[in-house]
Structure 1
Amino acid sequence: MYPVVRMLKEMVKNRNADPLPLTGTHVSQHICWPWDIDIWMELNNGRTLTLLDLGRIPLAMRIGLIKVMRRERWSMTMAGVTVRYRRRIRTFERFEIHSRAICWDDKFIYLEQSSWKRDGECANHALYRAALTDRNGIVPPARIAEAMGVEATSPEIPEFAKAWIAAEALRPWPPMQD
């Protein structure tokens, strides 16, 4: 089940938070609850992706994107993700999610999110490809920046993101069926 109450809490908590620049980092505090775990008593890998929403939406609020999305009647969709899991987050363990936009191209915005344990270890790291859409399809990031009144030039795409983008371009769609 989607963590609606937790999302509302994050939105209320961050409604008056200081604005962030387009590539600013939003940090949020979380607890791994019993309903977030798998049979090994740790944060479920699928639930991790859901909990990362709790960082992305407040980030979008703080950079001013949500306000523009409402005005323009745009929606946000995740168009791909790659995740690296390295440390377990156990039941009742507290952790932080760090969320930021790292770059964009002519179609997509690339977001980086990571979960950090209290001892300073990174538990997981995700690279997302996000798109804003309207009734005609994907809204180009240059148009989004213009609507936000910010500079449209992307920071340089990091090498790890370039490699993922290139790998995704080679991946067949639709996938083959046996």
Structure 2
Amino acid sequence: MNLYFRLFWLMFWRVRHCNSIGFLGTSKISYRALPFDCDINLHVTNSRYPALMDLARTYMLAEMGLLKRFIKMKWMPIVNAAEFTYIRDIKPLSKFEIESKLVGWDEKYFYIEQRFVSENTLHCIVHVRGVFVCNRKQVPIETMVKEVGFVGPAPALPPEVVKWKAFLQLKKERNI
């Protein structure tokens, strides 16, 4: 239930009062680990991270100035894959930030890095691969990049994303 409240708060308050970042800028949104975000081990439960990341990516689009435009065009973001590295737990009632950044794209997917940070401590780092779809068809990456007005070559993907991308391809090939 608290995620509905957080989504409502995000869409009707935070988005209207957010900062402005560039297409390749870093978005930051703050949260507090509420008791119902935590499990019996007294830390944020693993299942809560992806839900909070969804909200942070929505906020990132708003800070980029793209959220309203993409909604109007009926472009819906779809996560294709994600990989998590948990480093330190987040305790109940702790404040933390989720830093979200588009780190690059290839011919089919865009790649986002999301970090959970509090008081200069990294708690979790996540890479997300996704696409936008419209009417059940993928929006080509070139169309997305053109729509946002980005000019120039795509940034080089970080080495860990390149290796992860190769790993995902290997999994796909071995399981066909």
What's the TM-score once normalised by structure 2's chain length? 0.91
Instruction: Provide the secondary structure at the position in 2 that maps to 1:172.
Output: helix
Partner residue in 1 for 2:27: 26
| Structure 1 unmatched ranges of 5 or more | none
Deviations 1:12-52 (A, max 9, x none): 22323232111111111111111111110110011111111
SS of alignment partner, residue 172 of structure 2? coil
In 2: Cα distance, 1:30 partner to 1:164 partner: 28
Structure 2 residues without counterparts, runs of 5 or longer:
none
Match of 1:147 in 2: 147
The number of equivalent residue pairs is 175
Write the distance in 2 (CA, Å) between the matches of 1:108 and 1:20. 21
The residue that corresponds to 1:171 in the other structure is 171
Give the partner amino acid of 2:131.
A
Counterpart-to-counterpart distance in 2, 1:174 and 1:9:
43
1:78–1:152 distance in 2 versus 1, CA, 3 Å: farther
Aligned to 1:66: 67
Q: What displacement does 1:94 show?
A: 0.9
Cα RMSD after superposing both structures = 1.9
Q: Distance in 2 between matches of 1:108 and 1:172?
A: 15
Q: Secondary structure at the match of 1:155?
A: coil
CA contact (8 A) 2:30 2:96 kept: yes
User: What is the alpha-carbon distance in structure 2 between the residues aligned to residue 117 and residue 126 of structure 1?
Assistant: 15
Q: For each residue in 1:118-146, what CA deviation from the matched residue of structure 2 results, as whole angstroms up to 9, or x when unmatched?
A: 2x110000000011011252112210122
Report the counterpart of residue 37 of structure 1 in structure 2: 38
In 1, the alpha carbon distance for the partners of 2:76 and 2:152 equals 19
Q: How much identity, in percent, do the aligned residues show?
A: 24
Deviation, structure 1 residue 174: 9.3
Is 1:128–2:143 an aligned residue pair?
Answer: no
Amino acid corresponding to residue 97 of structure 1 in structure 2: I
Alignment partner of 1:45: what SS? Answer: coil
Runs of 4+ in 1 over 3 A off after TM superposition: 172-176
Q: Distance in 1 between matches of 2:153 and 2:76?
A: 22
Partner of 1:54: 55
